[in-house]
Amino acid sequence: MAETAGETPRFYRARDGRLLAGVAAGLAQHLGIPPIVSRLALLALGFGGIGIAVYVVLVFFVPVEPETAQDTGEESGTPGKRRDVGRLLGYLALAAVLSMLFLVFGGMFDPLLWFLIFGALGAAVLWQQANPALRDEWVSTTALPSRKGWVRIGAGVLLIVIGVIGFLVFQQQLQEARTGLTFAATMLAGISLIAAPWIVGLVRERDRERRERIRNQERAELAAHIHDSVLHTLTLIQRRADDPREVQRLARVQERALRSWLYQRPADADTTVKPALERVAAEVEESHGVPIEVVCVGDGPIDDGIRAELQASREAMVNASKYAGADSISVFGEVEPKEVLIFVRDRGQGFDLDAVPDDRMGVRGSIIGRMKRHGGEARVRTAPGEGTEVQLRMPRIPEFG
């Protein structure tokens, strides 16, 4: 399969139009050498078929380069990439050893030679397969390759083995190769047995270290947060211990901050109703000191009408905080497909709506008038001694529905 596949141009991929199949250039870039060197090396190896085999295997196993900004860079080595002298030497040594072996055994049909070649090739592929970051981690024993990586590596090994056997069968060399293969397999099994416990230990150790590191990071983050917020507030509370109202306010503010940090996803208060309503309530509560409980069902984007509705609800909350004399205020928002409803309710003293003078802007202008101007409606239910509920209703613009 090696001979035919290497020459056909079908391995061109959607790489940035670099080279044949990008292998030589990729290899060159990977090694930090001019592409001509890698190409010459492949060519030299190609004499005898090895280079072609290498090429094909690399085409199969080298992933397509991800698109980056500097894809248009010229062919000579990219300055951004690290030069890995050790790896370069490894490849050179590999090539030298292969050539020597080729000379020593004097023919490409010697099964032992082929076994060695494919073994070395497999090692090279696996080495190539690991990306540099991952490889560093292998060396420094800190992380496992991804599951996909393992699969690919396993597939690489398997393919190489199959390739060897298939080639040998095709060349009717299997009989002669069997001795060598058996020997090699025995060796491999022995080495695996010896190395397995050590590798397993290494993997576990690495896993443990990584988990430890993540835990430490989280702990540090949490400590920083607690320090910036909770400890700070506790200090303030101790200092203001003689002012119960301020102490309560501080505690509420801190509670809300901690709650949102613990339980809520970061949400953008400028674009959707629920976080916006919660923010309005938080702001009013902070400036007026009356606890406001917000319950909101559903969520949706804010348009101009809803923005006006939120402003009206703020006005209602401010009124309730200032005049109702209630212990707390309940705010309920409901985002329906066609409209957004907001209810602001207190159990305070209430008032006689008809008795409110016309020049009082609060209710008439900021709430009822504002809602009407934007196509919505506002109702105020109140009576002396029965608390107040401001009901706001605003249709949603259909395109958002």
Partner 1 sequence: MGKVHDVADDNTTFGSGAAVPRVVIVDDHRLFRSGVRGELGNAVEVIGEAGDVDGAVHVISEHQPDLVLLDVHLPGGGGVEVLRRVLSHHPDIKFLALSVSDAAEDVIGVVRGGARGYVTKTISGKELADAIVRVADGDAVFSPRLAGFVLDAFAATDSPPMDPELDRLTQREREVLRLIARGYAYKEVAKELFISVKTVETHVSSVLRKLQLSNRHELSRWATARKLL
Cα–Cα distance measured from residue 228 to residue 222, given in angstroms and rounded to the nearest whole number: 10
Q: Write the CB contacts of 91 (distance below 8 Å, at least 6 apart in sequence).
A: 31, 41, 124
Instruction: Check if the beta carbon of residue 332 is closer than 8 Å to that of residue 353.
Output: no
- What tokens does 172 get? 């009717």
Q: Which amino acid is at 74?
A: E
Least Cβ distance, residue 278 to partner 1 (angstroms): 11
Least Cβ distance, residue 74 to partner 1 (angstroms): 48
Least Cβ distance, residue 63 to partner 1 (angstroms): 32
Least Cβ distance, residue 333 to partner 1 (angstroms): 9
Nearer to partner 1, 282 or 329 (CB): 329
> Look-up: residue for tokens 């490409």?
108
Nearer to partner 1, 39 or 347 (CB): 347
Note the helical H segments in 264-388. Answer: 273-288, 304-319, 361, 370-373
Nearer to partner 1, 157 or 237 (CB): 237
Q: Write the CB contacts of 268 (distance below 8 Å, at least 6 apart in sequence).
A: 275
Cα–Cα distance measured from residue 364 to residue 383, given in angstroms and rounded to the nearest whole number: 16
Nearer to partner 1, 283 or 336 (CB): 336
Q: What is the CA radius of gyration of the chain?
A: 37
Nearer to partner 1, 51 or 348 (CB): 348
Least Cβ distance, residue 32 to partner 1 (angstroms): 47
> Look-up: residue for tokens 């923005």?
307
Instruction: Check if the beta carbon of residue 285 is closer than 8 Å to that of residue 379.
Output: no
Nearest to 336 by CA among 297, 362, 376: 297
Nearer to partner 1, 173 or 391 (CB): 391
- What tokens does 264 get? 């809520």
Binding site for partner 1 (CB under 8 A): 259, 262-263, 272, 291, 293, 295-300, 327-330, 332, 334-335, 343, 345, 347, 389
Nearer to partner 1, 71 or 327 (CB): 327
Q: Write the CB contacts of 154 (distance below 8 Å, at least 6 apart in sequence).
A: none
Least Cβ distance, residue 378 to partner 1 (angstroms): 15
Least Cβ distance, residue 343 to partner 1 (angstroms): 5
Nearer to partner 1, 41 or 344 (CB): 344
Least Cβ distance, residue 75 to partner 1 (angstroms): 48
